Amino acid sequence: MPSYIPPLGPISEKLKASQLKWTDFTQAIPLEYTEIKEWKSWLVLFRAVLIWVGLTYLALDLYSVSNWSWYHYIASLVVSFGIFCCYANLFTLGHDAGHFCFSKIKVANKIVGHFILSIFHIGFHNWKIAHNFHHTYSQTMNRDTTWTKDKMTVQEFAKSDKKKQQDYHVAYATPVGVLIGYYVACFNYFFFTRYYHFISLEKGQKRQVLFSSVLVLVLSLSHLGLFCWLGGVSFYLNFHMLPLALGAVAAVGIPLLQHSHEHAVYFDEKCWTPLRGQILGTYNFRMPYFFERVFNDINLHVVHHINPKVPWYNLRKSYYELKLKYPDYVLEYDLSWAEIKKIYDNPLVEWDPELELYRSAPYQ
């Protein structure tokens, strides 16, 4: 598997010199790979839900034992990890529903999206609107709704007060940002119009956001009540909040890995194009095969940014097609702590006037 991404300059210049167009990349993914095969998504959805229910009943059996031995604690952790895997599997299906490629039936996508994202205490419409905005402004400073939105230049950081510098360092140069980012995002999604005020909502979308916020609150409280009724507060914490905490790290960490690297690039609006934002600013990160399947290949992210309508079960095939035709522009790396450390070592950005983009940069 690849472990090296070439420096940006040669890639950017090569892309410019090649005279490749955005349509060259979109046409590299066969149209049939966007075809929705609903039985595959429904099968994985029902499988994940059945395993989740089965693990929950197994957890109830564990809780019926009055005196736990060491192996009960190990069994509890195994069950929690199994539930986390179900959550990871489900989230990628909810992601497809947000792009309306889970089902050919529009209302089915909405129902599945509301059901799945309520498990994560996120309103479906709120997430969908913000996520689609991310696709539209991928890697655009002050616009992209993921990690890019609050990125600071070297000059901005130097002019900031000490507290703002410390906060930024904790968020972008340590694992703390990944550990708490999900909970901040949940809060922001719930109060969408306040924290995503830069997204212009149509009248219908305002109603959708309000509906999703109310619905996720009701469903989250119902979820809490059901778990507490089944086994009490400790049961809820061990077999929902603990797996969700692992999922929270993944939910925030995955977008970071998909769009960050020591050579990562960012743009301002006037210099952004789909070709630059989606190709130069998106990465595949490779994991052991088991985890790639648990996350339904969502780590193969370049394909998704070229064509968000490719369902999860066609991501790997599309990836092979794209890599065969344009191997130099499928940027990917092996996931390791060394690679993550490089991201944390380059939390700022600086303007490159020659390439007309922002490069990742360390503190100066």
Give residue 246's pLDDT band: very low, low, confident or very high (50, 70, 90): very high
Cα distance between residue 53 and residue 205, in whole Å = 34
For residue 1, tell me if it sits in a domain.
Answer: no
Q: How confident is the model at residue 23 (pLDDT cuts 50, 70, 90)?
A: very high
Q: What is the mean pLDDT of residues 92-110?
A: 96
State residue 212's pLDDT score. Answer: 96
Q: Over range 257-278, report the average pLDDT.
A: 90
CB atoms within 10 A of CB 184: 13
Concatenating the DSSP letter of every residue in 233-249 gives HHHHIIIIIHHHHHHHH
Helices 176-190/203-231 angle, 10° precision: 120
Residue 46 carries which DSSP code? H
**Res 8: pLDDT:** 61
Can you tell me which residue has the tokens 């890639």?
Answer: 11
Mean pLDDT of 44-65: 93
Q: Is residue 2 situated within a structural domain?
A: no
Cβ-proximal residues to 46 (8 Å cutoff; 6+ apart), any chain: none
Residue 335 lies in a domain: yes
- H helix or E strand, kind and range, residue 357: strand 357-361
On whether residue 3 sits in a domain, the answer given is no
Task: Tell which residue, 266, 318, 243, has the closest CA to residue 91.
Answer: 243
| 63: confidence class by pLDDT, cuts 50, 70, 90 | confident
Secondary structure class of 191 (helix, strand, coil): coil
Q: Which residues share a beta bridge with 256?
A: none
Confidence check: pLDDT of 175 > 90: yes
Asked whether residue 151 is assigned to any structural domain, the reply reads yes
**The pLDDT of residue 29 is above 80:** yes
- Residue 1: the pLDDT is 46
Supply the pLDDT for residue 3: 47
The domain tally of the chain equals 1
Give domain status of residue 120, yes or no.
yes
CB atoms within 10 A of CB 320: 13
Say which residues have a Cβ less than 8 Å from residue 112's Cβ, sequence separation at least 6. Answer: 45, 93, 94, 97, 102, 103
Residue given tokens 């780590």 in the structure block:
299
Mean pLDDT of the chain: 92
Which pLDDT does position 100 carry in this prediction? 96
Residue 350 lies in a domain: yes
Residue 119, in any domain of the structure: yes
pTM: 0.91
The pLDDT, as a whole number, for residue 26 is 94
> What domain range is 169 assigned to?
8-361
Burial of 32 (0-12, 13-18, 19+ CB in 10 A): exposed
